[in-house]
Chain A
């Protein structure tokens, strides 16, 4: 090989031109592929698509400024389970969101830092990619925004963001994980929020017996559960036909499929009458609108059998008691209870929902069929820190 500095062109013996030509042809065609094969410690995140896998459930909208990646989810999982995010290193996100409890806990109100009780029941953080407002009162628009609240809440983790960042920055394992996820070893609260949000979005549960039934396996549900589903989805109409249409009216609020409230503005926030006197204003704290007094987010009923006790205040211990609440003779007279509840009766001129004991039992049976056992055993959601 010779080098001709005047022309600054590499000169090769003639036969080699054919080889070069062939190599150029191949390499220029495959350059995009080879660029993605990077050394292990390089920033090269792998995109991950969040899907339900269930026909009829649309793909969620992922924020463009925080695309979900394998590395982001993995970092988020470490952070989610790490008590170092709290002020005294005792409380992690997972302290109140336990996988075997459907990502909720079994407390009426959760226990935060230094044994303090939080103000509301722990929400089951499942299928949040399909949610448009977060917390019981809807105060966060995004998961990224939501994820930093508990860290700073004095009753929960009681940390400051600068202190949290400093703690994580000093941990040997975190800067490389942030580099893999975001291309920087400099940790910021914004990146912590993004990683936590990615992990939370990845927590997907769509493999209950109901889902298998939905996907065509008729035997996945028993006849009792199918009858419970029909009651669940039906708004009663006692004036329709000779015998009327009977229904438990659950689906008016817990929309079938996702089994949660509507995701159109604040339409998925309703007052279900659980407070005889409204002491927790809920959504009204966010909107300052008196019409929103006592409204709380209509949560998903997926894995509901695992997440007792129920309601924003944890005041109802069992699913059977939940049905009794909605069937209660005095529910309609409670303050600000939503008209989707008060307009649903099974008897002409009735003043309560009026389900029979057998009907309530069928609805409960159906709700138990929303438990996804593969979800609670999924290693992708388990603690990656072991016994640390």
Chain B
């Protein structure tokens, strides 16, 4: 009998410790969506400092730095109504010399959501771009080379490289910023997708499109765009166009 009492006492001890855990509500199940953006030139993987891009003006460009913001990601139904919107949705896609893709992980996507469209921005929206209160949200961090400043805002897209060809030798520097360069894209899915487990949304960034799709950028003449010019508008259009940033479909990692 006493043995049983002792066991009961032990049980009480264990119960006393585990009861708090039981009181904690289980987190809502979430899905993992990864935006995978692979860099390509003429269909082949493209690496910084290695891959050559041949422009329509027959110049050869080799990039040494490439970075841009993907922001305000939301999932929509067939009517365009938002079914889920990421909070603090600012992702920096920053490429390294040894990888031809980046993975951007969306946070806290609920399971069992059906959606027909993915909408996102390229750059930083005007509200966040003009406000210090957004500094620190998502990847809007200082010191990452996409500097935020009260006067200049964030760099939305950073492209740097070297060029040679009919236009001579030199550099390519496109730092696209200012509110007017923010671009939005909506991907229409052929069939609705239901969030479950981990899925990857695949994009290809065709680097040759920066100079040609749809606007021709004569890199010899326009090799340095930092301001708010119409040429910079054309570059922003090219960078966000379906030809340059092309949708490749979902893959499931389940």
Contact = CB atoms under 8 A, between A and B. Distances in A.
Interface of A: 7, 9, 11-12, 14, 17, 20-21, 24-25, 27-29, 54-58, 130, 214, 216, 229-230, 233-237, 239-241, 245, 251-252, 255-260, 262-267, 291, 339-340, 342-343
Contacts of B170: 339
Interface stretch (B108-116, B136-144, B181-189, B207-215): B136-144
B14 A251 contact: no
B96 interface: yes
A21 B135 contact: no
B93 to A, nearest CB: 11
Given A21-B9, A239-B229, 20 more contacts: A9-B6, A17-B9, A28-B16, A28-B17, A29-B16, A54-B142, A55-B135, A55-B136, A56-B136, A56-B141, A230-B149, A234-B149, A255-B145, A256-B147, A259-B143, A262-B65, A263-B144, A264-B94, A264-B95, A264-B145
Nearest to B6: A17
Contact of A237 (B49, B96, B142, B226): B226
Contacts of A9: 3, 6
A240 B12 contact: no
B143 A255 contact: yes
B151 interface: yes
A56 B171 CA distance: 31
21 contacts: A14-B2, A20-B9, A21-B9, A24-B13, A28-B14, A57-B143, A214-B132, A230-B149, A239-B227, A240-B227, A240-B229, A255-B145, A256-B143, A256-B149, A257-B147, A258-B142, A264-B65, A264-B95, A265-B98, A267-B65, A343-B224
B19 to A, nearest CB: 10
Contact of B226 (A235, A257, A263): A235
B145 A262 contact: yes
A128 B217 CA distance: 40
B160 A340 contact: yes
Given A234-B151, A256-B149, A29 B228 contact: no
Question: Which 6 residue pairs of A and B lie closest in terms of their CB atoms, listed nearest first?
Answer: A257-B142, A339-B171, A258-B143, A21-B9, A237-B227, A240-B227
A133 to B, nearest CB: 13
B227 A130 contact: no
B10 interface: yes
A126 B156 CA distance: 29
A340 B171 CA distance: 9
B209 to A, nearest CB: 23
Interface of B: 2-3, 5-6, 8-10, 12-14, 16-17, 49, 64-65, 67, 94-98, 132, 135-136, 140-152, 160, 162, 170-171, 173, 175, 223-224, 226-229
Contacts of A260: 143
Contact of A57 (B49, B141, B227): B141
Contacts of B141: 56-58, 257
B168 to A, nearest CB: 13
Contacts of B14: 28
A251 B227 contact: no
Contacts of B140: 56
Contacts of B229: 237, 239-240
A236 B162 CA distance: 20
A262 B144 contact: yes
A55 B134 CA distance: 10
Contacts of A20: 6, 9
B2 A17 contact: yes
B135 A56 contact: yes
A245 B175 CA distance: 14
A65 B80 CA distance: 48
A21 B144 CA distance: 57
A265 B149 CA distance: 24
B217 to A, nearest CB: 16
Contacts of A234: 149, 151-152
Given A11-B2, A21-B8, A240 B149 contact: no
A315 to B, nearest CB: 25
B64 to A, nearest CB: 7
Contacts of A229: 149
A51 to B, nearest CB: 12
Given A9-B6, A343-B224, A256 B13 contact: no
B173 A256 contact: no
